[in-house]
Structure 1
């Protein structure tokens, strides 16, 4: 079953320096129909103004994946980590027993990113942070696993959740066939372009919750970029 969450139906917030759309409702008054999908608890589409950012704040018992779509993200945390994450690259933070971090727009254009939160399979554990580059050319015409809690997904950033984060780029008229385990759900976002998912037309910035389906057929109407969470 597909549940289309169109861009205009998403909850949103505007703080001046931060404009966000929420594929999953994160505050009272948001769209009540946009509930978590499996262990996917948060998917925020954030735009952070030049010079803006989140000051030091804390998290606990959550797997937080950041996918940078445009610009440069600066990260610092209480583990001593200090990094720059560029467009197309991914950062993973396992909050575990607790971590504090700050994140800022370190570029000269608005910073656009996805913040994806996964419920861990167990609570606790030492906090960890990691990042790596994922060239977009490597995911042309196919899904590439960016972060995963499954050991068979070699090359992916590790997370402590029964889930994986994937991305793909498609040229116009290209197709992808993706198989989900019978017990799994998924959430897919069209980062750019226009596609059909199992025949359902989707525009840029739309999302779709996929449940009780093992086969996902995606056809691109124009050059497109996709990000998906297989939510275990």
Structure 2
């Protein structure tokens, strides 16, 4: 995997951007998969949030027969404790950190940046956010798990110990089992992190009610 900057879809607010949401997609998707959610979030019309939807690099994915697709890391097996290729996770973390640092350099402070993700992207938002050495506005982890199962990542950064974390999961998720998301929440909660857990009557997806509540959460943590 190259260490070049990630390509991304950027949705600018009508006013000058004062905050930013970096939203990471799931396996086989692209930034285009979540870019259309911005109007559905119900944000105030004069909000000043820049949304960035990066595209994961293309690589072979073991559980899909080595098929090449957009992926933040290789998925080696369905075993939760050996699912995520940690080398790939760390390589994507570097690229995501670079995206955050680009926004900081552009004048948006870390505490006005939310790192969000769905499925594989949610794994990356948790892993990267928990290890990032500046305090973020929030971390959003949708329908995902920790790469270490019930274990938090190594080299955690104290900077995000009190950062608001939003964890959502579908009660009928057939891709990432509900217990995997709950296991991640329990690990965070046990370690004293500021995480909120909520389930929805859905499969491995997002639904309008959830997106509206995500919009309310973003409005709260970014203001």
- Which has the larger helix fraction? 2
Between structures 1 and 2, the one with greater strand share: 1
Task: State TM-score, norm by structure 2.
Answer: 0.30
Larger radius of gyration: 1
